[in-house]
Structures are given as structure tokens and as C-alpha cells.
Amino acid sequence: MIVFIPSKGRNDTVTHKLFSASGFKVYHFIEPDEIESYNVPNKIDIKLNNQGMSYVRNFMLDYARDNGIKHFIACDDDITHFGKAKGGRAIKGDNADDLVPVFKVFCKSDLAMAGINQRQFAWSEKKTYKLNYGKVEGCSFFNSEIITWRYKENSKEDRDFMMQCLDNRENFAFFCKVFFNTTAIGTNIGGLHDQYKSKADSIWAKKLLMDWPKYAKIINQYGRTDCKLDYKQKAKDMGLVVK
């Protein structure tokens, strides 16, 4: 079981410890200017500095293919814990143990991608999983042998990547009751903090609208300009099952 963690400006990241304690091997993908400052396992030099999130995501996919890694998890570097919802409660788990069963299910499937929930939403979910709608962001599962598309620049790259998945007539799943916990978006120093501070996410939202006009709608949420995508309709239009 393998995890890729891209990291920028957070050499104190400890997310890898959650995975290592649950039997995962963790690789860190770090810019050359910062790599010496990190004291983490399995550091991978991504060759260029300040190329953005899409660059490092594509780099990780290429690394997986080049090294024969079919299934892997890509996880943000500021996740504090994982858990599982039960009985209307979000219950904090031990390390990343709650990810193991769903990742094993994913590895036996023909899914291209899968995602898990955020803690604040998982407790209210009724379904165990959803097919071709939900979320694949924050902590995501990938099948490098199925994925042929690329992350785009200057977009909400995770959401666009999900739409590309459907556009290629491939499937993704959302495991609704398994969750991760992290700080509020754009508040943690490092990562995309500076871009969120400069409201770059409003530009990314408009890029989504331009790329997927039939399925996208600009909304204002939590004081930010965002873009809502209709994955269900896209999946149906591509002849895929939604459930």
C-alpha cells in the first residue's frame, strides 16, 4: 500500500506518520529548493520549483507509471487524522486504519479513482459509497494504468480531473463514511495558502465554468467564489452508471 504526499512550505508535516503506522509506504514529492529542509521518509525531487499543484500531480502520476505502481493514494500534507462515521457520529480512528479496507476494495475494482469524505460531512451520510458523484480531493485513490488524462493549470484541478475521468468514460467512487480532517481551506501556511489569500480560487472557478459550461455553475460559498459541477448528469450523458 503506497501513499504519495506532495508538500510545499511545510517541512514540519507529520501526516505521513498516520499512514506509516497503518502499514503504508509513504513518498514525499518536494521542490528542489526545499527538499533538504524536510526530515521525512522517501523524498522525491520534483525537478522544478514553483510550478503549481497541477505540475506535481502530473509528476506523481508519471512517477507511478515509470515505477510500476498501479494503485496509490495521493494525500494532502496537512491532514491531522482519519476516521469513520457510525451512528450519526464522526469517530476519530487510529492512524490511517480506516482507509485500509476501502483502499483494498478500490485496488480490486476497475475504478480509475476514488475519494473519501471530510469529517464535517461524513456523519450525516446515509450511503456507504456513491458511484460517479461525490468528491475525489484531499485524500484520493488512483489507478495509474487507467488514467490517461492530465491535470490542467489554473483550475480547481481535483474537480476538473473528476470531470475528465467521466469525459473519458471511466468511473470513480466516493466512500462517504470514511473521512479525513484538516484545517479550513486556505488557512494553513504553505501549500496553496498564498493563492487562496489572493483570491486565485475565484479565477480557478471561472476556468471550470469555461471548460464545462453545460455542467458548471458559479456560486458564492463561505465567502468565496466557487464552482459547482453536476457530475451525475455528466456521467449519465457519457453512458455511465450513477448510484
Q: Residue 78: inside a domain, yes or no?
A: yes
Q: How many domains does the chain have?
A: 1
Q: Residue 233: inside a domain, yes or no?
A: no
Q: Residue 18: inside a domain, yes or no?
A: yes
Specify the pLDDT at position 189: 61
Specify the pLDDT at position 196: 47
Per-residue pLDDT tens listing for the chain (243 residues): 999 999 999 999 999 999 999 999 999 999 999 999 999 999 999 999 999 999 999 999 999 999 999 999 999 999 999 999 999 999 999 999 999 999 999 999 999 999 999 999 999 999 999 999 999 999 999 999 999 999 998 888 999 999 999 999 999 999 999 999 987 555 556 544 455 444 566 788 888 888 999 999 988 876 678 889 999 999 999 999 999
3-state SS string for the chain: CEEEEEECCCCCCCHHHHHHCCCCEEEEEECCCCHHHCCCCCEEECCCCCCCHHHHHHHHHHHHHHCCCCEEEEECCCEEEEEEEECCEEEECCCCCCHHHHHHHHHCCCCCEEEEEEHHHHCCCCCCEEECCCCCCCEEEEECCCCCCCCCCCCCHHHHHHHHHHHCCCCEEEEEEEEEEECCCCCCCCCCHHHHHCCHHHHHHHHHHHHCCCCEEEEEECCEEEEEECHHHHHHHCCCCCC
Q: Residue 146: inside a domain, yes or no?
A: yes
Read off the pLDDT of residues 156-198 as tens digits, 9 standing for 90 and up: 899 999 999 999 999 999 999 999 998 755 555 654 445 544 4
Q: Residue 16: inside a domain, yes or no?
A: yes
Look up the CATH number of the domain holding residue 109.
3.90.550.10
Count other Cβ atoms within 10 Å, centred on residue 126.
6
Q: Please state, in angstroms and rounded to a whole number, the distance separating the CA atoms of residues 110 and 73.
A: 16
| Dihedral sign computed on CA atoms, order 82, 116, 139, 214 | negative
Q: Residue 68: inside a domain, yes or no?
A: yes
Quote the cell numbers at residue 135.
Answer: 468528491
Q: Residue 33: inside a domain, yes or no?
A: yes
Q: Residue 225: inside a domain, yes or no?
A: no
Range of the domain at 10: 2-194
Mean pLDDT of the chain: 92
Specify the pLDDT at position 206: 87
Specify the pLDDT at position 153: 87
Name which of 134, 111, 106 is nearest 232 in CA terms.
Answer: 134
